[in-house]
Amino acid sequence: MSQVPEDINLDLGFGSVVTRESRQRFLNRDGSFNVRREGLSFWQELSPYHYFLTISWPKFLSYLALAYLLSNTLFAFAYIACGRDALTDFSRASVLGRFGIAFFFSVETIATIGYGNIVPMTFAANVLMTVESLFGILAFALIAGVVFARFARPTALILFSEKAVIAPYKNMKAFMFRIVNQRRSQIVDLEARVLLARRKRGRGDEREFIPLKLEREGVAFFPLSWTIVHPIDADSPLRDYDGGDDLRACDSEFLVLLNGFDETFSQTVHTRTSYKGSEVVWGARFRNLFNPPAPDGTISIDISRLHEIDAAPLPA
């Protein structure tokens, strides 16, 4: 009997080597991939714009402050190198005093403040001041562009439950996790895609990727929360599993991809994460998120209860 060819589109782009040899999870909880690319030179791999666009705000502001202090310090030493008469009061100040005068004059110049209490006195100092003025204009233009791009870049900030659960569902079992929009922005036409990555039984290191059929693959509106459900029926790849040990034995990982339209940016946004077999709680259900209705009838949820679960007996 001829064997049905395997769909090569289900390897998710990782390729056969990664799926066979990797002993790490494919997706970290923050959505980053557990692979590395090597072989490029430093200059080939260098992409400062992308780096500063994607790092966290604390790290970005730290780099910005460090660059600001370092550039003013370098220009201060350059002014000192121009001689004892380069700036006002240089000749009457000590070495440390000259550094302070030069540093704060550099701050005034690079920020185009110009109080006028310190001025360049020699030709070399005036040339250096001209160069620093041009440097300041270009630097602030670049920084303003990156800051604007960081604010304008459309991203989804979806909060996933810390654990997925195998819970009772319509006289059967179901794999579930839930999500909530951490921002106040409105996301519409949100779609979910979940795949099960596992090692094939009796096939050693070979791994397969199986799309999981969801109770609902998308929602038109996403104002509160969404519990994403995969019913474990006769067609489910989880139908023969009896507990978490079965998920861990085949190195299971549930890969999650979400796509939606953010009304604030008028652009499509996406996010991803994964759940390893050890992060799936067998025989549990999520606690109710909804608060009692307000006197005016408004419905609300308590996002702090997103991760809370209770034990729940499963049907046979």
CATH number at residue 91: 1.10.287.70
* Assigned token pair, 105: 């004059």
User: Same domain for 307 and 160?
Assistant: yes
CA distance 148 to 117: 34
* Assigned token pair, 227: 């519990």
User: Same domain for 249 and 279?
Assistant: yes
Q: Which domain holds residue 264?
A: 8-18+22-31+155-311
User: Same domain for 242 and 143?
Assistant: no
User: Same domain for 130 and 219?
Assistant: no
The answer to the question of residue 37 being in a domain is no
Where does a domain end: 102, 132, 152? 152
How many domains does the chain contain in total? Answer: 2
Where does a domain end: 152, 180, 207? 152
User: Same domain for 140 and 173?
Assistant: no
The answer to the question of residue 263 being in a domain is yes
pLDDT at residue 3, rounded to an integer: 42
pTM over 0.85: no
pLDDT at residue 1, rounded to an integer: 38
User: Same domain for 13 and 132?
Assistant: no
The answer to the question of residue 130 being in a domain is yes
User: Same domain for 117 and 250?
Assistant: no
Q: What is the pLDDT along the chain (316 residues), one digit of tens a residue?
A: 334 445 555 555 665 555 555 666 777 888 777 777 777 787 777 788 888 988 899 999 999 999 999 999 999 999 999 998 999 888 888 889 999 999 999 999 998 887 888 899 999 999 999 999 999 999 999 999 999 999 888 888 899 999 999 999 988 999 999 999 998 888 999 999 999 988 877 666 678 889 999 999 999 999 889 999 999 999 999 988 888 788 888 888 999 999 999 888 788 899 999 999 899 999 999 999 988 888 888 888 899 999 999 998 888 7
From residue 303, alpha-carbon distances to 31, 61, 179, 264, 298 in Å are 21, 29, 10, 22, 16
Contacts by residues 262-270 (CB-CB < 8 Å, ≥ 24 positions apart): 262/154, 262/156, 262/185, 262/186, 262/187, 263/185, 263/186, 263/187, 263/188, 264/154, 264/185, 264/186, 265/152, 265/154, 265/185, 267/154, 268/154, 269/154, 269/155, 269/156, 269/187, 270/156
The answer to the question of residue 253 being in a domain is yes
User: Same domain for 162 and 285?
Assistant: yes
- What's the CATH number where 272 sits? 2.60.40.1400
The answer to the question of residue 316 being in a domain is no
The answer to the question of residue 217 being in a domain is yes
User: Same domain for 163 and 296?
Assistant: yes
User: Same domain for 102 and 188?
Assistant: no
User: Same domain for 164 and 289?
Assistant: yes
Where does a domain end: 152, 174, 193? 152
The answer to the question of residue 36 being in a domain is no
CA atoms within 13 A on the CB side of 90: 23
User: Same domain for 140 and 160?
Assistant: no
The answer to the question of residue 266 being in a domain is yes
